[in-house]
């Protein structure tokens, strides 16, 4: 499973959205119906799955699915 | 002239059924909903029986995301609200949203969530706490979620009054509609506290029955061999509506809310005082509120927990209030079949009173093999339900902290 596929799988499960909705440019709040609490929970799930820590400052910069993937790559996740 | 308040919908999840119809039919057949406790591994607990919901499918009422985030007491409340609104023939209160509200009492709130959160924080530190732990644990979020789903924008509240919480829910909503602060209230109580802390805590108080070998015979109110209550779970919500509004929309009217009384014992954190004077004052207050004489009440759904003290003192209080009329009133404890649903009990038992009036049947006190001598001369409806005219019915609840609440319902006549 690629990193993209894994990330999308987690997002689908956490936010209850479909694969089709999970385009890379999809924004969590504007396109996927998430609120700030959803986002915190989603990030906790990413931390758990990829063994990393995401600070609140870093969390603020994450807006789209691509942002998550880019961030994970920057932390050395493949 | 005071506005009149009627019951137009009931949604009930109880250990004996997943609707009011199913629950009521089971009670009339004298069926017990008590069984082995399965919600957690209870091998080391002194009590290993409980009244759990059976075959309840949460996914008919919440989606998978909600199921993961909400505590059971919130899910039960949403389910009971769906059932009550459907039963009342109301899809949403959108048009009247500001004149509609919701009150759901709970003794304990999201205990399962608190237990899990504590485990998470001990294992992984504060970063392992979910942003949904607090909103899943707060007791008033049951009413919060129901208000969101149905657009109820009027009064919202969560009475926390131990085992009387559900009665406070229905009673306070009754007052709100009668006094004109709202026209429709979804009201009742909920609890889902069959958890290690819930069972362990009541066990520590020596409050629960330990008749683990005979679960269905464990809850035995008024019986000389009673040894404590049986913990149960559930939610019941009633739709209370201002009478003229209900008539205008052609709603089916179950019964009228006649009176409500609340008093405090100011005595002890958990025990009732001998003779339970606070309970008799409470019944008298409800009768006065209803402008009724005791002789007009045909059925009393007793608090009847199956604890030694409650049952003795409750009957003493009933005798004091009813006087000579005590011999002709039918008194039963449906907790003999449902167990004690804590904050949901008062609302469920209010609904059972409504059904007794509607159907002309009084539900039994099962397991009443050997009534205590002190209960002689009373109709405690042992073992089997009975047909009888019920013009009015009273339900009693007495909670820890000395919180007493009594409701009276009567047959609806225009």
**What long-range pairs does B121-129 form, CB within 8 A, spacing at least 24?**
B127/A44, B127/A47, B127/A53, B128/A44
List chain A residues with CB under 8 Å of B63.
Answer: 16
- Looking at chain B, the whole-number percentage of residues with pLDDT higher than 90 is 96
pLDDT band at residue B95, thresholds of 50, 70 and 90? low
- For the cut 90, the answer to whether the pLDDT of residue B92 exceeds it is no
Calculate ∠ Cα B372-B378-B380, nearest 5°: 75
Query: Which of A71-75, B107-111, B274-278 has the highest average model confidence (pLDDT)?
Result: B107-111
Give the mutation candidate from B65, B70, B135 for the A interface (greatest A CB count, under 10 A): B65
Please give the average per-residue pLDDT across B54-82, as a whole number: 96
First-to-last C-alpha distance (Å) of chain B: 14
List of residues 6+ apart from B323 with CB closer than 8 A: B294
CA distance B89 to B250: 10
Please indicate whether, in this complex, the C-beta atoms of B128 and A37 are within 8 angstroms of each other: no
pLDDT band at residue B2, thresholds of 50, 70 and 90? confident
Please indicate whether, in this complex, the C-beta atoms of B131 and A16 are within 8 angstroms of each other: no
Please give the average per-residue pLDDT across B53-62, as a whole number: 97
Query: What's the pLDDT tens digit per position in B365-403?
Result: 999 999 999 999 999 999 999 999 999 999 999 999 999
Q: What is the pLDDT of residue B91?
A: 80
Please give the average per-residue pLDDT across B317-323, as a whole number: 97
CA distance B168 to B174: 10
Nearest to B330 by CA among B245, B281, B395: B395
Q: What is the ipTM of this complex?
A: 0.84
**Secondary structure element (H or E) that encloses residue B85, with its range:** helix B72-88
Please give the average per-residue pLDDT across B48-67, as a whole number: 96
Please give the average per-residue pLDDT across B21-44, as a whole number: 98
List chain A residues with CB under 8 Å of B127.
Answer: 44, 47, 53
Residues B162/B77, Cβ–Cβ less than 8 Å: no
Q: Is B131 on the interface with A (CB under 8 A)?
A: yes
Indicate the DSSP class of residue B16.
Answer: T
- For the cut 70, the answer to whether the pLDDT of residue B85 exceeds it is yes
CA distance B220 to B371: 10
Query: What's the pLDDT tens digit per position in B208-239?
Result: 999 999 999 999 999 999 999 999 999 999 99
Q: Is B64 on the interface with A (CB under 8 A)?
A: yes
Q: What is the CA radius of gyration of chain B?
A: 20
Domains of chain B: 5-248 (3.40.47.10), 260-410 (3.40.47.10)
Q: What is the pLDDT of residue B93?
A: 59
List chain B residues with CB under 8 Å of A45.
Answer: none
Q: What is the pLDDT of residue A1?
A: 87
Q: What is the pLDDT of residue B380?
A: 98
Please give the average per-residue pLDDT across A46-72, as a whole number: 92
Q: Is A15 on the interface with B (CB under 8 A)?
A: yes
Please give the average per-residue pLDDT across B42-51, as a whole number: 98
Nearest to A55 by CA among A71, A70, A66, A69: A71
Query: What's the pLDDT tens digit per position in B324-371?
Result: 999 999 999 999 999 999 999 999 999 999 999 999 999 999 999 999
3-state secondary structure of B202: helix
pLDDT band at residue B300, thresholds of 50, 70 and 90? very high
List chain B residues with CB under 8 Å of A41.
Answer: 69, 130-132
Please indicate whether, in this complex, the C-beta atoms of A44 and B130 are within 8 angstroms of each other: yes
Nearest to A64 by CA among A30, A9, A27: A27
pLDDT band at residue B42, thresholds of 50, 70 and 90? very high
Q: What is the pLDDT of residue B388?
A: 98
Please give the average per-residue pLDDT across B285-296, as a whole number: 98
Q: What is the mean pLDDT of chain B?
A: 96
Please give the average per-residue pLDDT across B110-137, as a whole number: 95
**Secondary structure element (H or E) that encloses residue B40, with its range:** none
The verdict on whether B340 is a catalytic residue reads yes
B48 half-sphere exposure, CB direction, 13 A CA radius: 10
Please give the average per-residue pLDDT across B134-155, as a whole number: 97
Domains of chain A: 3-74 (1.10.1200.10)
pLDDT band at residue B94, thresholds of 50, 70 and 90? low
Alpha helices (H) along chain A: 3-15, 36-50, 56-61, 65-74
CB atoms < 10 A from the CB of B359, how many? 15
Alpha helices (H) along B179-300: 196-204, 243-248, 277-290
- For the cut 80, the answer to whether the pLDDT of residue B96 exceeds it is no
Query: What's the pLDDT tens digit per position in B177-200?
Result: 999 999 999 999 999 999 999 999
- Looking at chain B, the whole-number percentage of residues with pLDDT higher than 70 is 99
Whole-Å CA distances, B108 to B140, B233, B343: 10, 11, 8
């Amino acid at each position: 499973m690629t990193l993209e596929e894994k990330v999308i799988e987690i997002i689908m499960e956490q936010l209850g959205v479909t694969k089709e909705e999970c385009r890379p440019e999809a924004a969590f709040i504007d396109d996927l119906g998430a609120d700030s609490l959803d986002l915190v929970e989603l990030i906790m799930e990413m931390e758990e799955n990829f063994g990393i820590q995401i600070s609140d400052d870093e969390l603020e910069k994450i807006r789209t699915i691509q942002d998550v993937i880019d961030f994970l790559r920057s932390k050395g996740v493949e | 002239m005071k506005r009149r308040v009627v019951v137009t919908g009931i949604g009930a999840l109880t250990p004996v059924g997943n609707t009011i119809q199913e629950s009521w039919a089971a009670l009339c057949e004298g069926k017990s909903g008590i069984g082995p406790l399965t919600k957690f591994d209870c091998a080391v607990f002194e009590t290993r029986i409980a009244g759990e919901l059976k075959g309840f499918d949460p996914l008919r009422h919440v989606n998978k995301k909600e199921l993961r985030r909400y505590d059971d007491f919130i899910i039960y409340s949403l389910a009971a609200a769906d059932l009550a609104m459907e039963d009342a023939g109301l899809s949403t209160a959108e048009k009247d949203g500001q004149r509609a509200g919701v009150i759901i009492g709970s003794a304990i709130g999201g205990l399962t969530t608190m237990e899990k959160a504590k485990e998470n924080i001990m294992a992984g530190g504060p970063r392992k706490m979910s942003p949904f732990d607090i909103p899943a644990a707060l007791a008033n979020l049951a009413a919060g979620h129901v208000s969101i789903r149905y657009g109820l924008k009027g009064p919202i509240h969560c009475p926390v009054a131990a085992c009387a919480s559900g009665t406070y829910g229905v009673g306070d909503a009754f007052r709100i509609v009668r006094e004109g602060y709202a026209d429709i209230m979804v009201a009742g109580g909920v609890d889902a506290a069959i958890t290690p802390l819930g069972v362990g805590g009541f066990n520590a108080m020596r409050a629960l029955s330990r008749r683990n070998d005979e679960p269905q015979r464990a809850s035995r109110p008024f019986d000389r061999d009673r040894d404590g209550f049986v913990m149960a779970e559930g939610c019941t919500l009633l739709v209370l509506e201002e009478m003229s509004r209900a008539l205008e929309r052609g709603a089916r009217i179950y019964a009228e809310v006649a009176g409500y009384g609340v008093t405090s014992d100011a005595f002890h954190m958990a025990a009732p005082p001998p003779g339970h004077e606070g309970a008799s004052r409470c019944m008298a207050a409800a009768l006065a509120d209803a402008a009724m004489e005791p002789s007009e009440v045909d059925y009393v759904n007793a608090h009847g927990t199956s604890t030694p003290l409650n049952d003795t003192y409750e009957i003493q209080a009933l005798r004091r209030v009813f006087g000579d009329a005590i011999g002709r009133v039918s008194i039963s404890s449906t907790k003999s079949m449902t167990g004690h649903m804590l904050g949901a009990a008062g609302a469920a038992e209010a609904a059972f009173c409504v059904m007794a009036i509607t159907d002309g049947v009084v539900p039994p006190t099962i397991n009443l093999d050997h009534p205590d001598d002190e209960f002689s001369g009373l109709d405690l409806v042992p073992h089997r339900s009975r047909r009888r005219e019920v013009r009015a019915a009273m339900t009693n609840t007495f909670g820890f902290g000395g919180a007493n609440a009594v409701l009276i319902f009567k047959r609806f006549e225009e």
